[in-house]
Chain A
Amino acid sequence: MKIIHCADIHLGSALTAHFNKEVADKRNNEVTLTFERLAEAARSQGVRAVIIAGDLFDQKSVKKSLIDTVLKAIAGAPDTDFLYLKGNHDKDTPFPPEDMPENLKVFGTDWTYFDYGDVTIAGVRLTKENCASVYGTLNLKAGRTNIVVMHGKLVRTSGKAPEDAVNILKLAGKNIDYLALGDYHAYQKDKLDGRGIYCYSGCLEGRGFDEFGEKGYVLLECKRGNISDEFVPFAKRSVIVLEADISGAGGQADIEKAIGTAVQGIGKENLVRVRLTGLLSPETYKGINYLTQKFADRFYYFGIKDETRVKIDYEACKDGVSLKSEFIRTVLADASLDEEQKEHIIAMGINALMGERYEL
């Protein structure tokens, strides 16, 4: 029997923290489309159940059209059950509606169990009221294949865990074969106890540059009392963050070359950010806007984050007879400025003396 574990889809996100409105809207639609693809994949592969371990939606208020889309996708795979656990983002979202499809099931604030052959899938939504007692009321038979669904960050404590945290210490020894978790947006798994593992499936699509890496779902195969898991990359696009050390670069051309090397081999369909690092002479013109535009056509989305530091040759300017040297000395001597501020002022001043505009 096949079961899919996914989480943190965050349908209806704004995404404008990382992208402009146009890109954000397109990306949002892609996230929704990926969910639809997931439903279709579940149908075509004969998946028995899809576990959505929380945060299906990004916020409480969701457009009706989006809800309709989700319901339609679920209804389109009538032989697959969609087991939905609300997370911290969508706990107040009015979903599912009363007339939900038959194959959509919801985990409540008490343990809710669903049996499929010799597999039991149990899930519970953590609240302030149940976060302490919930671990004591979980009841799983040892002879079955047991999957537990929860949403929250992991803690290990013998005391009381925060209401939105999953205390894996208290879940050990509960006959759990697979703890399907949501909340953390990157794929991660580890041992739970002697019997089972816990796993964050991560999100289906990276929504910003803080969600880079492969995204997808976990495919579980339950066969004759055994359960195997496999991460399946499923995102339409990858969010990729690369570093390019441009220390010593003479100018824009060198930086362009460094970026070119860094992005070599990256597919066109991806969202790429290049972090420029290293120490640069203040005279070095980076041309960030130009370079961003130059590489923009190569990828679905391209951005540059300038994290370089200004290299100041303190020795050279100590006795230098020039306005530049004098300027540098003046800035360095100003005790009211911190190091970063000094770097920025010096870089701006030097570039100005060179006739160049300096952007932070």
Chain B
Amino acid sequence: MIIKKCYIENFGVLSKRAFYFDSGLTEICEENGMGKSTLAVFIKAMLFGFDKNKRKDLDENERKKYKPWQKGNYGGYLDFEVKGKLYRIEKSFDDTEGDRVRLIDLASGGDTEDFDKDNLGASIFGIDEGGYEKSAYLSQRDPSCFKSDRLYTKLSDLLEEENDMGSYEDAMKLLEEAESPYKKRGGNDRITAIENEISQALSDLAAAEKHEELLSQAMPDKDALSKKLEVLEAEQKKANAEYAAAIEWEKYKRYKQAKDSYEAAIKDKSVAEATFNGKIPTSDELDDIERKLKVIDLEQSKHDEAKAELKEAQNKQNLLSAGETPEQKRIIELKELLFKEGLPAEGEIDEAIKAYRKSSDLKARLSEPLPPYKPDYKKLFLGSKVALSLAIVGVIVLIAGILIEILADRIAGKVVYAAGILSFAAGAYIVIAKYLKGKNEHSESHKKSVRGEYDIEEKKVRDFLARYGMTEKDPFEAIMQISKKLSEYVALSEKVSDEAKEAAEKIEELTLKIAEAENKIIGLKTEVSLYLRERGEEADDLYQAYKNLRDRLNIYEIRRGIEVAAKRNLENCEKPEREFEDTQQEYDTRELRQTLNKLSADIDETRKALIRLDNDIAYHTDYAAQKCYYKEKTETLKERLKKEKYYRWIVQKTKACLEKAKNNLAEKYIGEIRYAFGRYLSVVTGKKIEVLVNQELGYEIHEGGQYRDIKYFSRGYRDLFDICQRLALADALFKDEKPFLILDDPFKNLDDKKMQAANKLLAEIASKYQVIYFVCHTSRKLGLS
């Protein structure tokens, strides 16, 4: 590729600038800041566009860094030649509308698709921007900046085709990851895991086959057991028939026995029944008889008791009649002592007590002061007409006198006045005198009255006491005593009276009672006796007769019960289907039963065995049914194992081939690089230099009889050597379409002598490459363009 012309519309500091390039060396010497590096970046942007990163650091975001400050189109175009054909790449960078790119065939003037316009550099050279930067573009940065990179990384960067994102290392890492499941230790790898699964599946399959085998063995056993069951069931059937006959015989026997028993019971009952003369007593009737007998006993007891009581009452009555009772004797005594004259009348003692109390009161009053005189004032004032008249006249005259004194004559008034006073006073005197009189009379009469009353009462008490001969004693005490004695007398009298009455009543009552009892007893006895006789009991001792009857009834009841039971028994007995001869031989039902039981047990056992066997068969069947599953599983796992082994082998083989390819590549290019490197070193040093290049693109220079590390050399030499190395790399890599080389002042560290060597080198490469050489100092101008 040859760059012909570069037109910058606006890019960084450059605006509306055109640059023309020779096919060989184009030297551009300008001061710092004039845009040399900008031009280099513009060319790179035309070929590769901008990196799409959005980093803020300007040094890492060239799109932002070179955005023109002035308005206008951000971009430009590049005219270039490839294989004799002229093209133009136009680019306009626009963050809003998007970048516009055109690739124009300058001969036709129209757009062309000979190359990918969006990735022109890669399309033409087969390298991406990174590869371009590392090879064709030698910037001012340390030329040996990639020295530490591995060769294959550089190569892969340089040699990556479009859209190829991987690298050898990443690829190997991916393959390692793919292989890692197969490399785990301790039997944890995938292959071992599948083999273990196969083992397990085979084991399961063997188990299923074993179950199938057991199943095969179980089936004949089942047949045998089934046959055995058949035989047993046949025997059971036969035994059942015989047993049935035995049962029938037993049934017949039982029925006959029941029938005989029933007939015997009827007969016995009839015998018992006959003793009752056709009148069979009932239990209730006998209970009634018993009750009556008890009543008879009871009545008899009552009768006897009543009789005793009657005798006692009669005795008492006799005593009372004779007056011989203690009470009667006491009454007589009291009469003798106190009540010869007769008993005190009702209320007399109370009167005596009252009289005593009153006399005591009166006596006390005699010594008490008089009660205050309270006259009847109305009568006192208004009762005496004279007094009243005088008083009234006196008031009138008084008033008249006052009036006269006031109104007329004082002396006359006074006189009248005085007359009035005198009249009133006379009236008042009469009243007072009346009062005094009354008071005296009151006092006298009071005394007289009290004394009189006292005497009366006193006499009453004395008279009372005298009647009972108790005058010497204290009156009150004497009255009390009399009262007490009277109470006693009365009480005793009443008692005696009551007793007599009671005795009479009792005698009457008892007599009645006795009569009733006797009647009752006779009646009941007659009744009971008749009842018993009718039923065949003739005994004087009714109770014994009752007992006998009761016994006979019990016997009858028992026999009747036996008859009922025998009847029920007969009814419950199953009627035999047939009759048997009496000569029929006994069946040994016990033995038959035992045989049947044994057969039943055997059949049961056999059935259980069959069930167990069926269960076993089902169990084996279930497992055996899994056989095809395990078989398929085994096959599937084997297939999978095969695939996994194949996959592992493919991964390993891929790794091996990739490594081999890497080494081949390295070997191929190392040789070429070594040759080119040696050649370029010879140019700069003027002598033949042997160089050793390793796969990491590290190199050693043969100097002083041995290969020496680059670090042994001076900085200037190292710069030169690195440039040679990169040129050698470019030589090795770009065989078809040579790229242009941009050297952005790479020799700034060289001294004059080495600068001459650099000149030679540039001349050498300019013969093969289009070289665009930027320099900012005239001392580094080459003067070759």
Give the interface of A toward B (CB within 8 A). 12-17, 58-64, 66, 94, 283, 320-324, 326-327, 329-331, 334, 337, 341, 344-345, 348-349, 352-357, 360
Contact = CB atoms under 8 A, between A and B. Distances in A.
Given A321-B735, A354-B164, A348 B635 contact: no
Nearest to B209: A61
Name, among B156, B160, B651, B668, the residue most crowded by chain A CB atoms within 10 Å (CB to CB). Answer: B651
Nearest to B643: A360
A324 B650 contact: no
Nearest to B647: A360
Given A353-B168, A357-B178, A14 B629 contact: yes
Given A94-B219, A322-B160, A348-B650, A63 B621 contact: yes
A264 B629 CA distance: 34
A345 B647 CA distance: 10
Contacts of A283: 163
B325 interface: no
A12 B651 contact: no
Nearest to A58: B628
Contacts of A326: 661-662, 664-665, 668
Given A352-B171, A354-B165, A64 B627 contact: no
Given A326-B668, A353-B167, 8 more contacts: A59-B627, A61-B621, A322-B164, A323-B152, A326-B664, A352-B166, A353-B168, A357-B178
B170 A323 contact: no
A66 B626 CA distance: 13
A360 B646 contact: yes
Nearest to A348: B654
B657 A327 contact: yes
B654 A345 contact: yes
Contacts of A334: 657
Given A345-B654, A354-B164, A355-B165, A61 B625 contact: yes
Given A14-B631, A352-B175, A353-B166, A337 B212 contact: no
A274 B160 CA distance: 35
A63 B650 contact: no
Contacts of B163: 283
Contacts of A354: 164-166
Contact of A352 (B152, B658, B660): B658
Contact of A321 (B219, B627, B733): B733
Interface string B113-154: 000000000000010000000000000000000000000100
B126 A321 contact: yes
A341 B650 contact: yes
21 contacts: A17-B635, A61-B620, A61-B621, A62-B621, A64-B618, A64-B622, A321-B126, A321-B735, A323-B658, A324-B164, A330-B657, A330-B664, A345-B653, A345-B654, A349-B657, A352-B166, A354-B164, A354-B165, A360-B646, A360-B647, A360-B650
Q: Is the interface of A mostly helix, strand, loop or mixed?
A: loop
B633 interface: yes
A93 to B, nearest CB: 10
Contacts of B171: 349, 352-353, 355
Interface in B146-205: 152, 155-156, 159-161, 163-168, 170-172, 174-175, 177-178
Contacts of A348: 175, 178, 650-651, 654
B219 A14 contact: no
A323 B175 contact: no
B507 interface: no
A267 to B, nearest CB: 28
Contacts of B622: 63-64
B633 A16 contact: yes
Nearest to A60: B212
A322 B668 CA distance: 11
A345 B657 contact: yes
A14 B628 contact: yes
Contacts of A13: 628
Interchain residue pairs A-B with the least CB separation, the first 10: A61-B624, A14-B629, A327-B661, A352-B171, A353-B166, A326-B661, A322-B159, A330-B661, A348-B654, A14-B632
B656 to A, nearest CB: 9
Contacts of A356: 174
Nearest to A67: B621
Interface in B645-691: 646-647, 650-651, 653-654, 657-658, 660-662, 664-665, 668
Contacts of A323: 152, 155-156, 159, 168, 658, 661-662, 665
A337 B168 CA distance: 22
Contacts of A355: 165-166, 170-171, 174
B31 to A, nearest CB: 40
B213 to A, nearest CB: 11
B215 interface: yes
A353 B164 contact: yes
Name, among B624, B653, B733, the residue most crowded by chain A CB atoms within 10 Å (CB to CB). Answer: B653
A68 to B, nearest CB: 11
A73 B668 CA distance: 77
A348 B625 CA distance: 42
Contact of A14 (B618, B633, B660): B633
Contacts of B208: 61
